[in-house]
Structure 1
Amino acid sequence: MTDLRFDGRVAVVTGAAQGLGRSYALELAARGAKVVVNDLGGRDGGTTGEAEGPEGVVEQIEGDGGVAEADTHDVSTQEGAQALVEGALDRFGRVDIVVNNAGILRDKSFKNMSVADWDAVIGVHLRGTFLVSQAVFGHFREHGYGRIVNTTSPSGLFGNFGQSNYAAAKMGIVGLTKALAIEGAKYDVAVNAIAPLAYTRMTEDLFPPAAAAKLGPEKVTPLVVWLAHEDCPATGEVYSVGGGRIARVFVAEGPGVVLPDATPEDIGDNWPDINAERPYVIPRNLAEQTQVILNEVM
């Protein structure tokens, strides 16, 4: 395959001052994209802390001969998300790619989690992904092209202790990704999600220092670049990625059983078959899943 280039393309990357987002922004810029680098700054994505803001990434891109713009709007607010996209359009005249990467953590056991902890995480991850995507979606439709790369997590896909807020937000992003892929299909708007495992400012307390070399953001970035490129055929998909390993993650339905007049006792008697995993099907949308059921019970 020839080198994947983004000459003439404009990319918006949220949460891009450090870690994964920074790596995405730098690589997209190195391949010719004009990049809007969005970040509030702060270690956990807040407005305070020792971490640098997006200006440092912009300086690096420009120092390497690229084109970039810093943005510090809060993507968890409608005004912030709209201003981010409008600013990109005002500066560059178009947006072709959005990488929804901004995120924070407020980990606590469910018993101890406050409503504020819940709302903060849902706000940045799920609401922020929705708001930025919605702000740009009309532009994508009008121009007949767009690429959105969302960020889910193994915590959302498979669960994790102490992260009920984060897991709920991240699984919500999977549903949003699949719905947007369906709505964007006829406009050449592809929407996919990644579930990254990486050593970053948000996860450095979870991994030993030795993991930094094996799980660096640069091990995730190639997949994001591929999903953001016009040649990538995928849409509505989720991929696990980390340390150089990439795998498709999918929601499947087992063969099930048909019990037209089932009692609770019948369900208990057939429980092993109800829980069978193979042969499974992977419906592409609600209609396909519904048709599978109708074919068996009608």
Structure 2
Amino acid sequence: MDGKALEGKVIVVTGAGGGLGKEISLALARQGAKVVVNDLGVTLDGKPAADSRAVQVADEITAAGGAALADVGSVADWESTAAMIDRAVSHFGRLDAVVHSAGILRDTIFHKMTPEDFDSVMKVHLYGAFNVSRAAAPHFRKQGSGAFVLMTSSAGLIGSIGQANYASAKLGIVALSRSISMDMGRFGVRSNCIAPHAFSRMIESVPGLSPEEQERYLEKRRRTTRADQVAPLVGYLCSDAAREVSGQVFGARGNEVYLYSQPRPIRTLHRAGGWTLESLSEMLEPALRKSFTPLERTRDVFSWDAI
């Protein structure tokens, strides 16, 4: 990103202690934004980390001449999230954008998934997106502007094996963002989603691959889908240049940026007098099968290499 398109803006980034969130925070700071670096400081499986990743990233930003504030609250907790937003406003005087990239994984095949596996992932991803967005909403409404950038995933948009909890949360974030864009558009507030393809610790435990396949897959991802390649799209959506863009779902993959479709009816069957189970059994599948969405995974849909 060239220039200082975000000069003076205050932006909260969750999950900013490493990977995608860190690269986003550094890129936003280079663009002149004052960044609230939020990271709970846990490992991917939720265990306490040995140091404060949020403080490290904030220190890196300030050492480069930028302005940053570290926050170690949990986005899964409403009180902690509300306190973080209030602290951001009191420290910097305003709030212009929120980027929610915090996440955890509890990958397991569905019939083995526990309620705790499901709940913990939903709390960080979907509840976290609600908490941080809802806490920021009154500030945005009052000032008549604001931008949300919420991270979704192709796991929810397309499909993934062993990630029913993660996919459910990520698709829920799309609906949340769409609703925010409709409810708050009248106040000059916009909300968009990004489905990033970027190597980070979040993809190191993707199930369904042998150790050899996993290493080949990860080595390729390290080279072709870097976290810093997603950051420009985040910066754009936080900037005034995107003031007319809201309610959309974007993807970023290597040097590619793309727009996802959103669900709309694609075929219709009408029968005078209505339908019965018997008539549906006879007519529905033959009429609609060619339009069924196949059970594909992300790598089936993105059949070309990222460059």
Alignment check: 8 A CA contact 1:198 1:242 kept:
yes
- Structure 2 residue matching 1:75: 3-state secondary structure: coil
In 2, the alpha carbon distance for the partners of 1:228 and 1:28 equals: 9
What residue number does 2:276 align with? 263
1:154 aligns with 2:149: no
The aligned counterpart of 1:214 is 224
Q: Is the 8 A contact 1:40 1:46 kept in 2?
A: no
1:43·1:50 contact (CA, 8 Å) conserved in 2? no
Q: Unaligned regions of 5+ residues in structure 2, if any?
A: 207-216, 293-307
Secondary structure, counterpart of 1:259 in structure 2 = coil
Report the CA distance between 1:204 and its aligned residue. 2.9
User: Could you say what secondary structure the match of 1:35 adopts?
Assistant: strand
Residue 186 of structure 2 is aligned to residue 186 of structure 1: yes
Q: CA deviation at 1:272?
A: 4.1
Q: Which runs of 4+ in 1 moved over 6 A?
A: none
Match of 2:78 in 1: 78
Residue 223 of structure 1 corresponds to 233
Query: After alignment, is 246-255 or 4-13 more displaced?
Result: 246-255
**TM-superposed deviation, 1:276:** 6.0
Q: Structure 2 matches for 1:78-117, cutoff 5 A?
A: 78-117=78-117
CA deviation after TM superposition for structure 1 residue 64, in Å: 1.0
Cα distance change, pair 73–47 in 1 and its aligned pair in 2 (3 A): farther
Quick one: structure 1 residues 272 and 2, their matched pair in 2 at CA, closer, same or farther if it must change by over 3 Å? farther
Match of 1:222, SS? helix
Q: Is the 8 A contact 2:4 2:30 kept in 1?
A: no
In structure 2, distance between residues paired with 1:228 and 1:84: 19
Alignment partner of 1:231: what SS? helix
Residue 262 of structure 1 deviates from its aligned partner by 2.1
Q: Distance in 1 between matches of 2:285 and 2:196?
A: 34
1:158 deviation in Å?
1.5
Matched residues, number: 278
Relative to structure 1, is the Cα distance of residues 138 and 19 closer, same or farther in structure 2, using a 3 angstrom cutoff?
same
Match of 1:36 in 2: 36
Coordinate RMSD, CA, aligned: 1.9
1:18 shift after superposition: 0.4
SS in 1 for 2:241: coil
8 Å Cα contact 2:4/2:32 also seen in 1 = no
Rounded to whole Å, the distance in 2 between the matches of 1:44 and 1:16 is 13
Shift of 1:242: 1.4
How far the C-alpha of 1:210 sits from its partner, in A, is 3.4
Amino acid paired to 1:269? M
Q: CA deviation at 1:62?
A: 0.7
Q: 1:45 & 1:39 partners in 2: Cα distance?
A: 14
Q: Which has the higher contact order (CA 8 A, sep 6+)?
A: 2
TM-score by length of 1: 0.88
Percent identity, please: 37
User: 1:8 is paired with a residue of what secondary structure?
Assistant: coil
Letter in 2 for 1:221: A
Contact 1:96-1:146 at 8 Å conserved across structures: yes
